[in-house]
Structure formats: structure tokens, C-alpha cells
Amino acid sequence: MADIKDYIAKNKDRFLSELVDLLKIPSISADSNYKDDMLKTAEAVKKKLLEAGCDSAEICETPGHPVVYGEKIFDKDLPTVLVYGHYDVQPPDPLDLWDSPPFEPVIKESEIHPEGAIYARGACDDKGQMFMHVKALEYMTQNDKLPCNVKFMIEGEEEVGSEHLGWFIERNKEKLANDVILISDTGMIAKDTPSITTGLRGLSYMEVEVTGPNRDLHSGLYGGAVANPINILSELIASLTDENNHITIPGFYDKVEELSKEERKKMAEAPYDEEAYKEKIDIGDVHGEAGYSTLERASIRPTLDVNGMWGGYIGEGAKTVLPAKAYAKISMRLVPNQDWEEISQLFKKHLESIAPKSVKVEVTPHHGGYPYVTPIDTIGYRAASKAYEDTFGKTPIPQRSGGSIPIVSLFEQELKSKIILMGFGFDTDAIHSPNEHFGVWNYLKGIETIPGFYKHFTEMSK
Amino acid sequence: MADIKDYIAKNKDRFLSELVDLLKIPSISADSNYKDDMLKTAEAVKKKLLEAGCDSAEICETPGHPVVYGEKIFDKDLPTVLVYGHYDVQPPDPLDLWDSPPFEPVIKESEIHPEGAIYARGACDDKGQMFMHVKALEYMTQNDKLPCNVKFMIEGEEEVGSEHLGWFIERNKEKLANDVILISDTGMIAKDTPSITTGLRGLSYMEVEVTGPNRDLHSGLYGGAVANPINILSELIASLTDENNHITIPGFYDKVEELSKEERKKMAEAPYDEEAYKEKIDIGDVHGEAGYSTLERASIRPTLDVNGMWGGYIGEGAKTVLPAKAYAKISMRLVPNQDWEEISQLFKKHLESIAPKSVKVEVTPHHGGYPYVTPIDTIGYRAASKAYEDTFGKTPIPQRSGGSIPIVSLFEQELKSKIILMGFGFDTDAIHSPNEHFGVWNYLKGIETIPGFYKHFTEMSK
């Protein structure tokens, strides 16, 4: 029976090459052109689950992209860990900003990753982090170290709002029954500062279409007399925040959880260097809601960001057009107690109410998800904390993240168990951006830490 | 010797098929991929000029797209008419809004054009209108009706700001010497309301690039704390007009020509039906500068329109990105006494001054042009007016247009002659838009009217 460190050292190259193979398949859930690749990826995940020691694995159809389910039932009287992850990835564009093609993974060293990092779309989010669990299972089954039961639910729609995962869970509650849900789809502070994510923001993602005239017009003949949908959309967007960067949608803040002075003081103790933050992403200044720090703005406060906007002539050179249409994709990150469906409705109602008569404004909600906060006094959290202590030699810091995993709150509601967010990525890993990567060190450290969770969780559950 | 009406009746089909051939070549000056088609179009125009009776025609190189020059010198002691037009066209996109492909001309009837209209990019602007002059010359030379000298200067960069036409004119002043400049690149009010354009707006066309972080960021991890270039660009654009739709750029209105009450009263007498205007382009309301009518907003007042804007994720579905960049193409239509180079500088300076420190704003002027107003007490105007009276049985109305032909003011400055704008298109011809078209009636009426201008101008010049 090998020790985990030895097992990793012996199998490191294979662990990497298997992940590289998985990253080569462009599983872009948002784009229907990649439907076949989605299925190909699901097949690959199923195969890897069986190879790692699952008794069974299957591809479960849904009205959208399928879910891969696998399980290893060791002893029905022992606890069951449900691992959740996703095999779909964000669209890679803008492609011209990638240093290497997004679906041709390369391993390169960087300042933060002297041991090398795998550059590919999905490297960190979430193929790499999901695959840590598959390799951890392989270690445990190959070396008689699996102390309990394990189930895997790897979905293909996380990047498009997990549209059909609720449908799947509702129909498979018994199959998915578990004692704790383990997810690696978040980050940690730094190599020497392990952390466990205890909060996620919710999300409301909207699309706005502004229609002016029934055709593109000549901006000379009609300009000045006919509302320009791009100008109007710009004005609508600008009006959604005030001079203090507060969001102006009526009722938006009504249910926002306000943290106490003590809580905010504790947050401020986390290691943070604003100059380094600005330098890393090359900005002249931070920018956000008045009265809150950068860390607070990016975790405990709601936001409103335009994720995409387009209209009129966007080619080379000049075209003097007054366009018929303008579009924007706008998402709001939400914090505890905000209800994403309510916020989506408030947004829609507000935008439609402020639109001038000279244009038509259509608002379509894309998807959303509830915020999530997990307590730190559960067996699950304490087991995870101990696992980190074993491998990092340090107690991990509980940390609220600004990101969202829209489906997480549903897990708790439907499956009645707590979620443990053991993330091993860094904020600088450029997830959702060109040149996404995942450190080799982080990948192997995740594989090393996970079996400890199973051990401590089983022991603490006795 | 045939009468012009007979000649048109006999040659109508050929006049149409020759124009159709010219419209098939995609001479898009803004897009460098069409460089060969630009040259092919210039060659075709040269050939047509020689066929129509020019003594000589040539393709004159410039640092950009070439100019086609042709002439028929009849008698050096007689007046010379210089015809200006352009063989380049606007980009045709968005392609999916065309009912038939933009470079596969079709003739179809419409409500406004019961005799049929030619649908193709450039049908009206300006291949169709330019070609009326070629066919009018053919009539005059074939039937001994040319009473003076004629020169043609047909350029290939009008839709991209005539960047090198000034260069060409400067070097060819003697060759281009003339007594009057004749242009058909504007419109007329209606079939039963002929009009001559006496004013054009100027233009300042700018491109704005807003840069936030040095890469696209995850909108969950960074959203709320880092300035989003699309949100910021929307705010900048929104701030460029106030609640009365006045433009807020300091100094913008300083030189604007204010029309007298009498002049505005006279303008208000032109036939105009606001309900029909709104219905035709399907808008709920007109929209523009407080204190001015729709006709005034679209002709004697300056404007600011976003012609194109883009940033972030604009594909199918959702992507939660905080983009590194956002872009806009913005043009301002200018009125008499506004200096486009000064306005471009005011725009640039203002936008850079209001940009927050959290982003970088770069403003690049594309091109521009001066406004133009022509007096109506010249021989040229009177000759044109008489030509319309001959063919329409009505005195044409002098009309200020909202469009721009940026190079027109340079003609007067460099060539010291007046410009006569005999346009035969309608505002509804969808120039610069999908489904651009030019009425068969309008095309033939132009060919019919033009020889009258030569006759009256030569007689009045004696």
C-alpha cells in the first residue's frame, strides 16, 4: 500500500497526461455547435470514473447536456460522499488573446507557478479540479484507503446556469442520497495560505435588447431626430448605478445581508495588498461601491456588470449607421438573502419602466442562482480543515468568495446535506479569461488533500 | 437626333442592365479585403465613360483607392461642368437583414416605387446616381446635344471620408479646372416635390477604446471591485448628452450657426407628416434635442450618434466575464461654422478628461468633413432649377440635408467653383442600410433632367 505522496510522485506524469487529454475536447456548453464534443467529454469522464474504481458509471440524459453519474458503494452503513463537478467549460473567446490555442493544452512555468501550470480552457474551471477527485479515488481504491462510499455527479451545464440539474436531482434523490457534498470549483488564497470557501455569491444573468427603427438608418438623414438604440442602451446602463456605484434598481438592496462591524473587521485581517492587486491586472485604480473595501466589494456586496454589449457597425473602418438594434448581456452577483428570481424581475421591471417611448426594450432572464453560505461548525467543514492541516501544515482560513456556483443552494435544499467547497485554484488562474491555467502544484496538492477528507469525515461520523 | 424621353424609352433596359452589372462588384472601400473589387469597379467605370463619349478616361492612382477621371473637351471657350461621384459603397452588413444578397441586384416593385426599384448595396449611394451622369452624357454625345465641356471625377473613398481626394485635387488643379461642380449623391423630397439640396452637415467620426484590466476577468471574483470597461464606456457615452439631448462637450456649440426665426418658419412650411414619419420606420416616438422640430434636428442641428459599440461576450448564451476592453465608433454631424477638426479635438480632450483613473481611454479620429451651404442666386443653381422645371413641371424646393459629403467644402476651396447637388434618391431608399434600393423612375428621371442642366448652364453663362 503506497502512501499518497509516493503514489503521486510515481504517477504524476500520467495524472497530467490524462487531464491534458480531457482538456483537448472543446466542451463549450453555451454554444450548440459543440454538442458532439459535450457528449465526447461525458463519455471520457465516465470511462475515467470506471478506471478509477467506480462500481458503475453512466451517462444520464437530461433535457439539456447529460450528467455523468458514477458510484463506489463500499458499505451501506458507512457515510457517503457526493462529489459534484462539471465537465463543461466557458467559451474561449476572444481567441486572439490566447498565447496558445485554448484546446491544445501546454504546460508552462510562470512566476506564481514555478512547477509549471497547464494552460487550456477548463484547466482550473473545472476539468482540472474535478479530475483531482477522480485521481484521489483511484489512489484510495488501488491502495485500500477508501473508508466510505462515494458518488460522483459531474454535470455539463454549470457554465450556462445548471439549467437542467434541478430536473435531474428531483428525479434521482434516492440515487444521490449522501451525507456530505464535496466540490472543488473555487480557489484558495495562496500556496502558504490554504483556505476553504464558506460563501458564494448568487447570480442573475439578463439579456437586454433595445429596438429603435425597423431598419438600420443613415445617421446623416435621421441622426438627431430618431433615438439611437446604442445611445439609449448606454444611458439605461449608466443609470443603473449612481455616483457612489450603488445600484439604483428599486428594491435591489432590500434583503441584502449587512455584515456586523466585527465580521467586517475580521475580513479585513485576511492578507491583502492593494498595490499588488492593481499591478497584477494593470489598473490605475480600483473601482466600486463607496464605503466598502476591495475585498468586501468582491465578496459580500452585490454587483452589476455588463458582460457583453454590441450594436451597429463593429467592423474595420467607419460606417455612418443609426442601427435598428443594440444588445447587452448583464449579470448581477447577489449576496445572502437576495432571491435571484426576485432580482431578475426587479431588473426587468425597472429597465422596462425607464425606457423612453422612442424605443422598445425587451429583457430576457438567462439564468440565475442563489447565494450560499456554509457554517464552519459542521463535521464536513472540520474534516476538510483537518485534511488541509495534514497536507499544508496549517489551518485553512474560511473565506467568502465573489464567484457563484448557482446550483449549490439547491443541493442543500433538495439533498439535505452540507456542501464543502475545497478549491485549489488561484484567483490569478484566469478562469473565464484567455490563458486559463491550473498549477501543477495545485493539481497534485488537491489530489493529496482529498483522501484526508474521506478519512476524517468517516472517522468523525462514527 | 432623338429627344431625351424617346432615347430613354428606347434604351431603358440597357441603362438598367449596365447599372446592374456595376452593382454586382462589391466595392467596399472600408474593408481591405475588397481591394481587387475596388480596382475592378474603377476599370468598369472608366470603360463606361469612354463608351459614353469621353475623349479620354484614366485610372489615377492615389495613396488609397484610385480616382477615375474622364473628360470630353468640346470647345475650350465654352463652360466646363465637373461631375463628381463615387464608385465605392458602404459595407453591407448586417447581411441577415437583406431580403436579397446585397451584390446580386434585383428589381422589385414597392409601394413608393410602383415602377420597380433596383435593390443592391450602392444602388442609390452612389453608383446609380453617378451612372445617371454617364448615361446623360451618352445621350448628349450620341445626339449632338452636348453644349459644353464635361469632366468626371469618380472617387473610391467617399464612404471612408475621401481620405486621399484632397491629395488628388491638390495635384490636379489644372486638369480639374471647371465652372461648376455637379453632384448627385443626395435626395429629393418626393416624386411630385422636386428639391435641390442647398446644405450638407459636416462630420467628425471617432473611435473610442476603453481598457480596464490587462485581461478578461471572472466577473464573480473581480466584479464590484474592478472597473468594467463596458459599464464605464456606457457612462461616458451617456454623459455626452444631457436630459434635453444637448451635447455636453465643452465648446461644442460655440460656432453653431443659429437660424433666424424667419428661416425656421420657412423650413417649417416644407411638407412633413410626423405620424407618417414614425410609422414608416416603426418608432413609438421621435427623439432629439429639446426646442427643435424633427426636420430641424435632422438638418440644421448637430448630432452625436454611436454607430457601433462592442465589448465582452457577444456570442450565444451567457459568459460571466468582466472584459478587458470596450469599443465604440461615434460620429457627430456638424452644421455651418463648426470646424470638424476642432470638434474632433474637443471630443477627444473631453472624453479623456472625464475618464476615471480606473481605466485608460484612447480616442482616435477616423475622418471628418466640413458642413456646406450653397447659395441659390448663382447661375449653377438657377440652371439646375430650370432643368427640374422642364422635366417635373415644378420649381424645385431648396432643402438642407442632414447627410454629409465631407469633401464638398474642399471642392469650393480648392477649385473655386460652386457645387450643385442634384439628388434623385428618396430618404426611404435605405442607403447605408440593408435593402438599399434606387427607384427605376428616379434613375430615369435623373438621366432625363441632367442634360437640361448642361443646356441652361451653358446658355446662362454666355
DSSP letters, A71-82, are EE---TTS-EEE
Residues A4-8, mean pLDDT to the nearest whole number: 97
Considering only CB atoms, A91 lies closest to which of B93, B281, B315, namely B315
Spell out the alpha helix ranges (H) of B152-210.
165-171
A125-174 per-position pLDDT tens digit: 999 999 999 999 999 999 999 999 999 999 999 998 888 999 999 999 99
CB contact under 8 Å between A222 and B402, yes or no, is yes
Per-residue pLDDT averaged across B2-11, rounded? 94
Q: Which residues of A touch B126 (CB under 8 A)?
A: none
Chain B residues close to A316, C-beta within 8 Å = 30-32
- Shortest CA gap A219–chain B (Å): 7
Report yes or no: B238 and A235 within 8 Å, Cβ to Cβ.
yes
Q: B296-312, pLDDT tens digit by residue?
A: 999 999 999 999 999 99
Verify whether the Cβ–Cβ distance B315 to A93 is below 8 Å.
yes
Residue type for B174, please? E
CA distance A31 to chain B (A): 6
Among A218, A298, A403, the residue with its CB nearest the CB of B225 is A298
Of the candidate CATH numbers 3.100.10.20, 3.90.1150.200, 3.40.630.10, 3.40.50.300, the domain formed by B4-200+371-461 belongs to: 3.40.630.10
Name the band, by pLDDT with cuts 50, 70 and 90, for residue B14. Answer: very high
The β-bridge partners of B439 are: B117
In angstroms, the separation between the Cα of residue A132 and the nearest Cα of chain B is: 22
Question: How far off is chain B from A124, nearest CA to CA, in Å?
Answer: 13
Q: Do B237 and A241 touch (CB under 8 A)?
A: no
- The average pLDDT across A330-341 equals 95
Contact B85, B129 (CB under 8 A): yes
Interface test with B, best of A29, A267, A319 (most B CBs within 10 A): A319
Q: Within its chain, how far is the Cα of A99 from the centroid?
A: 23
Taking an 8 Å cut-off on Cβ atoms, the answer to whether A281 and B217 are in contact is yes
- The residues, any chain, with a CB within 8 Å of residue A283's CB and separated by 6 or more, are B212, B213, B226, B227, B358, B359
**Considering chain A, what percentage of its residues have pLDDT values greater than 90?**
85
Residue A2 has pLDDT above 80, yes or no: no
Tell me, what's the pLDDT at A262?
87
Residue of A nearest to B222 (CA): A298
- Reported confidence tier of residue A361, pLDDT bands at 50, 70, 90: very high
- Strand, helix or coil for residue A50: helix
Cell 433595445 maps to which residue? Answer: A210
From A223's Cα to the closest Cα of chain B, the distance in A is 6
**Angle of CA points B137, B143, B144, to nearest 5°:** 85
Contact A220 B359 (CB under 8 A): no
**A292 φ/ψ angles, rounded to the nearest 5 degrees:** -130, 150
- How far, in Å, CA of A332 to CA of A252, rounded? 10
B389 vs B226: CA distance, rounded Å: 65
Asked if the model's pLDDT at residue A1 lies above 60, the reply is no
Task: Dump the DSSP string for B241-253.
Answer: B-TT--B-STTTT
pLDDT at residue A266, as a whole number? 81
The shortest CB-CB distance from B319 to any of A286, A307, A315 is to A307
Contact A313 B91 (CB under 8 A): yes
- Are B281 and A319 in contact (CB < 8 Å)? no
Within 8 A of B298 by CB-CB distance, chain A residues are: 221-225
State the Cα–Cα distance between residues A62 and A165, nearest whole angstrom: 8
Q: Choose, out of B214, B283, B367, the residue to mutate when testing the contact with A (most A CBs < 10 Å).
A: B283
Pairwise pLDDT comparison (A14 vs B409), residue with the higher score: A14
Q: Which three cell numbers stand for residue A234?
A: 448606454
Q: Does A179 have pLDDT greater than 60?
A: yes
Average pLDDT score, chain B: 95
Mean per-residue pLDDT for B198-204? Answer: 93
The reply to whether residue B91 touches residue A238, judged by beta carbons under 8 angstroms, is no
CB-nearest to B404 from A220, A357, A432 is A220
Structural domain boundaries in chain A:
4-200+371-461, 202-257+300-367
CB contact under 8 A, B216 and A403: no
Work out the minimum CA distance from A93 to partner chain B, whole angstroms.
8
Q: Do A215 and B30 touch (CB under 8 A)?
A: no
Read off φ and ψ for residue A180, nearest 5 degrees.
-160, 145
With an 8 Å Cβ cutoff, are A217 and B30 in contact?
A: no
- Percentage of residues of chain A with pLDDT beyond 70: 100
pLDDT band at B324 (very low <50, low <70, confident <90, very high): very high
CATH number for A202-257+300-367 (one of 3.40.50.12280, 1.20.58.1880, 3.30.70.360, 3.20.20.70): it is 3.30.70.360
**Confidence band of B232 (pLDDT split at 50, 70, 90):** very high
Nearest to B221 among A237, A331, A403 (CB): A403
B297 interaction partners in chain A (CB closer than 8 Å): 224-225
- Measure the CA–CA gap between A408 and B457, rounded to whole angstroms: 81
Tell me which DSSP letter residue A46 carries. Answer: H
Q: Which residue of A has its CA nearest to B299?
A: A221
When pLDDT is averaged across residues B31-51 and rounded to a whole number, the result is 97
Which of A307-311, B196-200, B258-262, B273-277 ranks highest by mean pLDDT? A307-311
Q: Which residues in chain A touch residue B235, judged by CB atoms under 8 angstroms apart?
A: 234, 237-238
C-alpha distance from B128 to closest chain A C-alpha (Å):
17
Between A and B, how many residue pairs show a Cβ–Cβ distance under 8 A?
382
Distance of alpha carbon A438 from alpha carbon A444, whole angstroms: 10
pLDDT band per the 50, 70, 90 thresholds, residue A115: very high
Best B280, B309, B310, B364 member to test A by mutation, with max A CBs in 10 Å, is B309
Contact A320 B367 (CB under 8 A): no
- CB–CB contact B282 A216 (8 Å): no
Could you tell me the end-to-end alpha-carbon distance of chain B, in angstroms, rounded to an integer?
A: 24
d(CA B314, CA B320): 11
* CA-based radius of gyration for chain B: 23
- Gap from B145 CA to chain A (nearest CA, Å): 36
Q: Which residue of B has its CA nearest to A433?
A: B216
CB contact under 8 A, B234 and A231: no
For residue B286, the chain A residue with the least C-alpha distance is A226
Instruction: Count CB neighbours of B94 within 10 A.
Output: 16
Residue in A with minimal Cα distance to B161: A318
Cβ B215–A435 below 8 Å, yes or no?
yes
Q: Cα A133–A139–A141 angle (5° rounding)?
A: 100
CA-nearest of B56, B128, B182 to B452 is B182
* Residue B1 confidence (pLDDT): 54
The mean predicted confidence, pLDDT, of chain A is 95
Read off the pLDDT band of B268 (50, 70, 90).
confident
Half-sphere exposure of B327 (CA within 13 A, CB side): 19
B333·A224 Cβ contact <8 A: yes
Q: What gap in Å lies between CA B377 and CA B382, rounded to an integer?
A: 7
Q: Cβ contact (<8 Å) for B30 and A319?
A: yes
Contacts of B358 in chain A (CB under 8 A): 283-287
Q: How far is residue A204's CA from residue A367's CA, in Å, rounded to a whole number?
A: 6
B64-92: average pLDDT: 96
B166: left (phi over 0), alpha (psi -120 to 50) or beta: alpha
B202-257+300-369 CATH choice from 3.50.50.60, 3.30.70.360, 3.40.1160.10, 3.40.640.10: 3.30.70.360
Q: CA-to-CA distance for A353 and B360, rounded, in angstroms?
A: 33
Task: Please enumerate, as own/partner, the contacts of A292-299 that have beta carbons within 8 Å and a separation of 24 or more.
Answer: A293/A268, A294/B225, A295/A267, A295/A268, A295/A270, A295/B225, A296/A264, A296/A267, A297/B224, A297/B225, A298/A402, A298/B221, A298/B222, A298/B223, A298/B224, A298/B225, A299/A199, A299/A201, A299/A267, A299/A399, A299/A400, A299/A401, A299/A402
